[in-house]
């Protein structure tokens, strides 16, 4: 039995996944990688084992997060 809903069901079915070409991905990967690593660095290591900015303010501010997120803190 042809039912109107069967064609509608076909129309809203998810299309087969199309891979994003590596060439299109690469610039975003470089940008995203830099941005993400920078953010993780400030949470995880700045003014601890390594120090770009002198002082302890960054370390003290993210102190609890650094402990709870699992980074060695002091």
Smallest distance from another protein to CB 3, Å: 24
Site residue total, another protein (CB under 8 A): 46
- Distance, in Å, from the CA atom of 65 to the CA atom of 61, rounded to the nearest integer, reads 9
Which residue's CB is nearer to another protein, number 1 or number 36?
36
Q: 9 vs 38, which CB is nearer to another protein? A: 38
Contact letters for another protein, residues 24-43 (x by CB under 8 A) = xx--xx-xxx-xxxxxx-xx
Instruction: Transcribe the chain into DSSP letters.
Output: ---HHHHHHHHHSPPPP-PPPHHHHHHHHHHHHHHHHHHHHHHHTBTTTB-SSSSSHHHHHTHHHHHHTT----
**Which residues lie near another protein (CB under 8 A)?**
14-22, 24-25, 28-29, 31-33, 35-40, 42-45, 48-50, 56-57, 60-74
């Amino acid at each position: 039995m042809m039912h109107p809903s069967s064609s509608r069901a076909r129309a809203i079915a998810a299309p087969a996944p199309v891979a994003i070409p590596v060439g299109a991905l690469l610039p975003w990967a470089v940008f995203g990688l830099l941005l993400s690593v920078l953010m993780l660095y400030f949470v995880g290591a700045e003014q601890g084992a390594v120090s770009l900015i002198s002082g302890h303010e960054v370390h003290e501010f993210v102190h609890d997060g650094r402990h709870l997120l699992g980074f060695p803190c002091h």
